[in-house]
Chain A
Amino acid sequence: MPPLAGARAGARGLGGWSRGARRACRIDTRDCRFDTRSAVRWARRAVAAAGCGLVRRLLPGPAMARLLQVAGVLALLAFTGGGVAAWLLTSEQVRVTIAPDSAGALDPDAPIARLEERVGVLETDLRGLAAALQSNLAALDTSWQERGDARAAPIGAALQRVEAVLAELRARPAGADGALGERLAAIERAVGALRAQPGSAAVAATAAAAGAAEESAPAVSTPVAVESPPPPAADVAAAPASTAVAEPTGGPAPQTAGEPAPRRASFLAFQLPSDDFRFDERRTWSVIASLSRVGFDARSTLHDFSGATSKLSGELTADLAHPGEAPTARIVVDATGLTTGLDDRDDAMREHLDTAAHRDIAWTMTGFAARRIDVDAQRIEGDATGALTIRGVTRELTMPVQMSIDGARRLVIDGQAPLRLSDYGVPVPNKLGVIAMEDEVTIWIALRARPAPRGAASAPPGGAR
């Protein structure tokens, strides 16, 4: 296309655009309905009209100028009125909601909710703890009550015995025996201590020991030594309130029967159960064969000799502070284990004892009469009476014995008594009437026993001692 023709076509295009614009700028007031689409459309037309006004202003003609001014004013008024009308129509249908700007924003109420939840959990736990504590306290109260009841009976009995002895002693002529006053004072001190602290087992044991000793003493001329009644301060080992305090230092601790209480690790690395050994507790002791020996001493025309063995077993059940209260004991010796140092003599001895038919020599204690009870030193002296069976023949035998507690808390029992072999049907050895053994021999015991576990039968001796 030549340039001149292009210019003409451009002019025609501009003219066409101008005519279209003029037609578009005609204002039709009938379209001014107050709705959004009409307002928009009307606004478009107003803008077009404003554009047309600009065009018209470029064009000559006062009428056109006036018309455009009027149209512009009307357009502005219509635009403003349309906006106001649109706002009035839609204001009641619009709800303003302020939403969080993101999902991860912190809820100001969340920490409070968590705190409330934790408080609720704590309250639940606290209620559970309170219930458990109440239950445990109830069980503890029941346990203490039962324990107190169990202790009250022997203490009451001991108190009655002591008071009976006191009454008996007061009835005797004053000054009949020099030891009477001392004994009376000692017993009165014991009674006073007993009344002052009825829950103290050690004081009760001392008073009861005094009473038991009194029972065993047949006459005032053979006084029973009750040495150093323990002062109340010495009773902490037996006092329930003190045991718990003393437990961490290795003292005795409350212990359920048959259920050793665990404690700290000892130097052996093991946690050793507390050993609440008490001298005034009825308990079973098992003889430790490897640390025990029984035997006899015999005299003959030419030389004296002894026979001994550690082949034995035995048990003793007693309250050492009250050994006269229904003690039981049984010791069984394997007669084949007796040795005298000479094989020929041992053979002859077994033949005389008829060990093939009567292997065991047994002694069963039936009673104990205390002569001396020292609770502080944990020593007892007295006469143990029992039935001794040798070669199938049973005779009563009374043996003076001494009992004590050693450093390993073992019960050490020593005693001896004479007996005649002929009483038990044992032939007295005699060789040609020249070498004769005396009929009377002295039998002796040197035993060590360990406390058997509570509620269990004695176990066989172990390897370690």
Chain B
Amino acid sequence: MRLGALGLAGALCGLGGCIPSNVVAVEDRRVVDDLGTVAWGPVARDDLRGLFHAIHLDGPLAGVLRSISYWFDADGTFTAAALFAGPPPSYRVLDGTWELAADGRLQLGAGAEPADVARSDDLLRLSGADGIVVLQRGVER
């Protein structure tokens, strides 16, 4: 009887040993944006064409924007929709022309400051004085 109990305990211990500990380290508790490890590169004009949705907002603009999407057309025009925090939250849309300068800066519309733009795979990063927006190429449905 004792041997049976010991055997059962041993089996349970062995079974338990097969299950590794998975305690989350303190430094890993936060949800981490993986964008910090992305290698950004220069952008060509063709990289900008198409549909993009924001997946990351950073800086002061994150306090007033919830989301933003762009459609860059090949003819140099674009349309965009931004979801403002409000109150109440509301979408605003605008159209304009876009131009990628020789220095790699993207001009959206006539009155806007140029944005520093970089690309990595299907990601596009626009940055300026108001913060950083990372866009991901969207799927046209």
Contacts and interface: CB of A to CB of B under 8 A. Distances in A.
A305 B23 contact: yes
A269 B62 contact: no
A113 interface: no
Nearest to A303: B21
25 contacts: A266-B129, A267-B114, A268-B68, A269-B96, A275-B64, A277-B63, A291-B31, A292-B31, A304-B21, A306-B23, A308-B24, A342-B19, A408-B57, A431-B12, A434-B12, A435-B12, A435-B16, A448-B31, A453-B85, A453-B87, A453-B89, A459-B89, A462-B66, A463-B54, A465-B62
A269 B86 contact: no
Nearest to B67: A464
Contacts of B60: 250, 272, 275, 277, 409
Interface string A266-298: 111110110101000000000000111101010
B51 interface: no
Contacts of B59: 407-409
Given A268-B133, A273-B64, A302-B13, 11 more contacts: A295-B29, A303-B16, A303-B20, A306-B23, A407-B58, A434-B9, A454-B87, A456-B87, A464-B53, A464-B54, A465-B57
Given A250-B60, A453-B87, A464-B68, A290 B13 contact: no
Nearest to B16: A302
Nearest to B13: A302
Contacts of A302: 13, 16-17, 19
Given A434-B12, A459-B86, A464-B65, A269 B29 contact: no
B14 to A, nearest CB: 10
Nearest to B126: A267
Contacts of A465: 33, 55-57, 62
B80 interface: yes
A272 B19 contact: no
B43 interface: no
A455 interface: yes
Interface stretch (A59-67, A71-79, A257-265): A257-265
B2 interface: no
Interface string A404-435: 00011110101010000000000000011011
B interface, how many residues as a size bin? 35 or more
B4 interface: no
A268 B108 contact: yes
A301 interface: yes
Contact of A266 (B54, B66, B128): B128
Given A270-B82, A291-B31, A302-B13, A408 B58 contact: yes
A341 B19 CA distance: 10
B130 A267 contact: yes
Interface of B: 8-9, 12-13, 16-17, 19-24, 26, 29-31, 33, 53-68, 78, 80, 82-89, 92, 94, 96, 106, 108-109, 111-115, 126-131, 133
A267 B19 contact: no
Interface of A: 250, 258, 260, 264-270, 272-273, 275, 277, 290-293, 295, 297, 301-306, 308, 310, 340-342, 407-410, 412, 414, 416, 431-432, 434-435, 444, 446, 448, 450-451, 453-456, 459, 462-465
Contacts of A455: 87
B111 A264 contact: yes
Indicate the member of A273, A292, A295, A340 with the most B CB atoms within 10 Å.
Answer: A273
B21 A305 contact: yes
Contact of A450 (B12, B62, B114, B133): B62
A13 to B, nearest CB: 102
A268 B65 CA distance: 11
Contacts of A308: 24, 29
Nearest to B55: A464
A265 B22 contact: no
A269 B112 contact: yes
A310 B30 CA distance: 10
Contacts of A410: 62
Nearest to B58: A408
Nearest to B105: A267
A18 B70 CA distance: 116
A270 B94 contact: yes
B67 A462 contact: yes
A443 to B, nearest CB: 11
Contacts of A416: 26
Contacts of B61: 266, 268, 272, 275
Nearest to A266: B130
A297 B23 contact: yes
A465 B133 CA distance: 10
A297 B22 CA distance: 9
B63 A265 contact: no
